[in-house]
């Protein structure tokens, strides 16, 4: 991925970016990173990202304990290979609406995930960057604490995960063995494809893209081996 040098590189420290400029830099960096990836859904992702419409509308600031605790560690892992991307995310993070959401019943998704994740939309309904009317897409950042299991689930939306940290464990059917993948390995999930993520020792930080049906809910798919996977240390 090729990005423009950040302001002030190689010289004096630049003044802090405004919220709108920081969010615009993040959107542009995300688009550059995501459109360079090779996977089965690449064309759908490019089409979804082209829905960005209008100027950044920074949301009201909201603190999030998961972000405060784990985002610096995730960015420290990203920085050695992608320093500009890490810097852009760090500058924009305080201006994003990070949410530890409760769309899953806690007894199904598990308490560790329920309290150990945060997501922030960049593009889509209610995000800093809106889409045109009728564009049902969602793109943003997703953070999960180390060693947390995001249990088997599925949803109608086609989805790209673009992990910025790793390695982490993945599987695509309940009961299957984990496939441990390094950072920067895209994971494309067609509609209704089961998937699970087991976070390793580094916090999970990824861009995600839902290319359609972003308003339709996900659901948990029960599996007998969750206790063993939750106890597993990657």
First to last CA, the chain: 28
Per residue in 83-142, pLDDT tens?
Answer: 999 999 999 999 999 999 888 999 999 999 999 999 999 999 889 999 887 789 999 999
- For the entire predicted model, the pTM comes to 0.92
Three-state DSSP class for 38?
A: coil
Query: In sequence order, what E strands does the chain have?
Result: 117-124, 138-144, 149-154, 159-163, 168-171, 179-181, 187-189, 195-198, 204-210, 219-220
* Contact predicate 171/179, CB 8 Å: yes
- Residue 5: band (very low, low, confident or very high) from pLDDT cuts 50, 70, 90: very low
Per residue in 183-219, pLDDT tens?
Answer: 999 999 999 999 999 999 999 999 999 999 999 999 9
What per-residue confidence (pLDDT) applies to 16? 63
* Contact predicate 133/152, CB 8 Å: no
Per residue in 151-183, pLDDT tens?
Answer: 999 999 999 999 999 999 999 999 999 999 999
What per-residue confidence (pLDDT) applies to 133? 73
Token pair listed for 207: 């861009």
Does position 17 have pLDDT exceeding 80, yes or no? no
- With a pLDDT cut of 70, the percent of the chain lying above it is 93
What per-residue confidence (pLDDT) applies to 174? 98
Three-state DSSP class for 220?
A: strand
Does position 149 have pLDDT exceeding 60, yes or no? yes
CATH architecture of 19-231: Sandwich (2.60)
Domain-wise residue ranges, the chain: 19-231
* Across 55-59, 131-135, 201-205, 224-228, least confident range: 131-135
Angle at 66 (CA atoms; ends 61, 72), nearest 5 degrees: 90
- Residue 6: band (very low, low, confident or very high) from pLDDT cuts 50, 70, 90: very low
Q: 105-123: buried (b, 16+ CB within 10 Å) or exposed (e) per residue?
A: eeeebbebbbebbbbbbbb
């Amino acid at each position: 991925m090729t990005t423009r040098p950040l302001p002030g590189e190689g010289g004096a420290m630049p003044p802090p970016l405004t919220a709108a400029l920081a969010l615009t830099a993040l959107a542009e960096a995300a688009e550059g990173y995501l459109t360079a990836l090779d996977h089965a859904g690449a064309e759908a992702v490019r089409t979804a990202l082209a829905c960005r419409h209008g100027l950044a509308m920074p949301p009201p600031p909201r603190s999030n304990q998961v972000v405060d605790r784990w985002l610096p560690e995730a960015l420290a892992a990203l920085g050695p290979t992608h320093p500009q991307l890490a810097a852009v995310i760090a500058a924009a993070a305080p201006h994003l609406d990070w949410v530890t959401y409760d769309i899953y019943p806690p007894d199904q998704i598990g308490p560790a995930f329920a309290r150990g994740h945060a997501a922030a939309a960049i593009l889509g309904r209610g995000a800093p960057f809106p889409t045109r009317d009728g564009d049902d897409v969602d793109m943003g950042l997703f953070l999960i604490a180390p060693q947390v299991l995001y249990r088997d689930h599925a949803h109608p939306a086609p989805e790209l995960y673009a992990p910025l940290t790793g390695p982490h464990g993945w599987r695509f059917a309940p009961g299957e063995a984990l496939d441990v993948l390094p950072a920067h390995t895209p994971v494309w999930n067609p509609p209704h494809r089961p998937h699970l993520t087991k976070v390793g020792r580094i916090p999970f930080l990824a861009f995600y893209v839902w290319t359609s049906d972003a308003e339709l809910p996900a659901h948990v798919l029960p599996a007998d081996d969750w206790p063993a996977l939750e106890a597993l240390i990657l």
